[in-house]
C-alpha cells in the first residue's frame, strides 16, 4: 500500500538519493584506506552521507582535527576530478522535473564545487536553494543543514519532507524534527518513515489544500 505525505517543501540529499556516485566514492576512499592501512570495507561502511573530515575523525580518532580538514580538502579535489560513473539515480530526472516551481532544496555533505560537478555529470538541475558543506558548521548527523534549508525556503521543520539514503542523513532529518523518505537499499535499515527502492516509486502532485502531495510506493 503506497504511503502518502503532504509537505510545503522538500529537502533532498544528493549522493545516493539523486546521484549515484558510489563508484567514485569507493575508488577514492579505498585508496585513502590503503594509505592509512585501514580495512577498505570498514571504511566504506561509515563514509556515506558524512563530510569527509567527519569520516576521518571517526576512523582516526587520535588524529588532530586540522589534519582531517587538510586531507579532506585533498579528498574533495580528488572526488571532483573523478566523475567516471556518476549517473542519476533511477527516477531522479522525472522527480526533479516534477518539483519545478515548488519549494525544494539540496542539502548535501559535498562542498559546492563537488555538488555542481556531480549534478552536472548526472545532467540534473540544481534546486533553487543549495546547502553545501561550507555553509554549515557541523556535518550530518547534525541537523544544521536541513534546518538551514528549511529556513531559507521559509518553512518550519514540520512542514518539510526529507529524501535521504544514508544513516547519518536520516538521523539528521530526525534531529531536525522532519519526516524522511528513505531512498534505495542503504536506507532500509535506518527506520525512515517509509523506504522505497528508487525515486521511480515517488509521485509528486499539488495538494488541494496547498503544498505538495507525495505518494511513495
> What pLDDT does 208 receive?
86
Give tens-digit pLDDT for 31-63: 999 999 999 999 998 888 889 999 999 999 999
Non-local (6+) Cβ contacts of 54 within 8 A are 139
CA gap 124, 111 in Å, rounded: 17
CA distances from 168 to 7, 25, 110, 137 (A): 22, 16, 14, 16
User: In the block, which residue shows the cell 566514492?
Assistant: 25
Known catalytic residues? 13, 15
Residue 85 has pLDDT above 90, yes or no: yes
| Side-chain half-sphere exposure of 207, counting CA atoms within 13 A | 14
- pLDDT-derived band at 21, boundaries 50, 70, 90: very high
Task: Find how far residue 64's CA is from the centre of its chain.
Answer: 27
Q: The pTM is what? A: 0.92
Q: Give domain 3-21+86-216's CATH number out of 3.40.50.300, 1.10.287.40, 3.40.1690.10, 3.40.50.1000.
A: 3.40.50.1000
Domain spans of the chain? 3-21+86-216, 22-81
- pLDDT-derived band at 120, boundaries 50, 70, 90: very high
Give tens-digit pLDDT for 90-116: 999 999 999 999 999 999 999 999 999
- Percent of the chain with pLDDT strictly greater than 70: 100
CA gap 104, 52 in Å, rounded: 25
Residue 209 has pLDDT above 90, yes or no: no
Mean pLDDT of the chain: 95
> What pLDDT does 47 receive?
86
Amino acid at each position: 500500500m503506497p504511503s502518502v505525505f503532504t509537505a510545503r517543501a522538500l529537502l533532498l540529499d544528493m549522493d545516493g538519493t539523486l546521484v549515484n556516485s558510489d563508484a567514485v566514492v569507493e575508488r577514492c576512499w579505498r585508496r585513502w584506506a590503503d594509505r592509512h592501512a585501514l580495512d577498505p570495507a570498514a571504511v566504506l561502511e561509515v563514509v556515506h552521507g558524512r563530510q569527509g573530515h567527519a569520516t576521518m575523525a571517526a576512523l582516526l580518532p587520535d588524529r588532530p582535527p586540522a589534519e582531517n580538514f587538510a586531507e579532506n580538502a585533498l579528498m574533495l579535489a580528488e572526488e571532483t576530478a573523478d566523475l567516471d560513473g556518476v549517473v542519476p539515480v533511477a527516477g531522479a530526472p522525472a522527480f526533479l522535473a516534477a518539483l519545478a516551481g515548488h519549494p525544494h532544496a539540496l542539502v548535501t555533505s559535498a562542498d559546492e564545487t563537488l555538488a555542481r560537478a556531480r549534478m552536472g555529470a548526472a545532467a540534473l538541475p540544481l534546486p533553487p536553494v543549495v546547502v553545501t558543506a561550507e555553509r554549515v558548521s557541523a556535518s550530518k548527523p547534525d541537523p544544521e543543514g536541513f534546518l538551514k534549508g528549511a529556513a531559507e525556503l521559509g518553512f518550519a521543520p514540520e512542514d518539510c519532507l526529507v529524501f535521504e539514503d544514508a544513516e547519518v542523513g536520516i538521523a539528521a532529518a530526525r534531529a531536525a524534527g522532519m519526516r524522511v523518505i528513505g531512498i534505495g537499499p542503504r536506507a532500509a535499515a535506518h527506520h525512515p518513515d517509509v523506504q522505497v527502492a528508487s525515486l521511480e516509486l515517488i509521485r509528486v502532485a499539488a495538494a488541494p489544500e496547498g503544498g505538495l502531495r507525495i505518494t511513495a510506493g
